[in-house]
Amino acid sequence: MRGAAASPTSCAMRARPPIPLALPSLRLPRWVPGLLRRQPARFPGREARMRLAIALAAENVAHASGGPFGAAVFERASGRLVAVGVNRVEPAGQSHAHAEMLALALAQRALGGWNLAAPGLPALELVSSSEPCAMCFGAIPWSGVAALVCGARAADAEAVGFDEGPKPARWVAALEARGIAVARDVLRAEARAVLAAYAAAHRTIYVPAGRK
């Protein structure tokens, strides 16, 4: 006697792909170590630190290894570099892989914990080639950094097509209310030029389908 025919529902369930249980490793591009070897041991001020963030963004564009954004975490007083990040959204296929998110995650790994304000650690500063989007803005208070330094403005990123999300109008005041110092427009023209170069090369402006 033949067995009962499989129902359409059971066939659909068998054909469904397995649910992932792990994320692939997020790695910075292969060119990053070479760039870092050419940098000084200490970065004495905001402009020096921003130049590194902008260089990371520019190299990411030049190597087609992600979006036009770079970030770095420094010891605020000494200028020692702790970690860097670049935008890896497109090559990683993960929307959270922004430069700030990677820089913060790698700083946490380097220092051995999620709290970058843990006892015994020096005050840390996140330097980003562009102001944070809504997602990165939300991550900054939870990271423990004491300061944020930005190059290009959100309006500059939006001018080339990026969607920065529903960030509070008084986002600077919101961070400062939590004890996080904020500096804006540091080498803004240089940071904005990287965004323009990315757009001029007709690279992907990753905005979810159906949104503008």
Tens of pLDDT, residues 2-16: 455 555 555 545 577
Its CATH class, for the domain covering 42-200, is alpha beta
Q: Each residue of 59-81: pLDDT tens digit?
A: 999 999 999 999 999 999 999 99
Tell me what pLDDT residue 17 has.
82
pLDDT above 70: residue 90: yes
Q: How far is CA 39 from CA 71, 74, 112, 138, in A?
A: 15, 13, 24, 30
Instruction: Using alpha carbons, select from 168, 187, 202, 183 the residue that is nearest to residue 68.
Output: 202
What are the domain boundaries of the chain? 42-200
H or E stretch at 181: strand 181-183
Q: Which two tokens stand for residue 129?
A: 């080639």
pLDDT band at 202 (very low <50, low <70, confident <90, very high): confident
pLDDT band at 194 (very low <50, low <70, confident <90, very high): very high
How far apart (Å, rounded) are the C-alpha atoms in residues 210 and 212?
Answer: 7
pLDDT above 50: residue 212: no
Contact by Cβ (8 Å): 65, 91: yes
Q: Give the pTM.
A: 0.89
Instruction: Using alpha carbons, select from 157, 178, 171 the residue that is nearest to residue 70.
Output: 157
Mean pLDDT across the stretch 101-116? Answer: 97
Using DSSP's 3-state secondary structure scheme, residue 85 falls into strand
Tell me what pLDDT residue 14 has.
58
Residues belonging to the active site: 100
Q: Each residue of 118-158: pLDDT tens digit?
A: 999 999 999 999 999 999 999 999 999 999 999 999 999 99
pLDDT above 50: residue 162: yes
How far apart (Å, rounded) are the C-alpha atoms in residues 57 and 138?
Answer: 21
Contact by Cβ (8 Å): 127, 53: yes
pLDDT above 60: residue 200: yes
pLDDT above 60: residue 169: yes
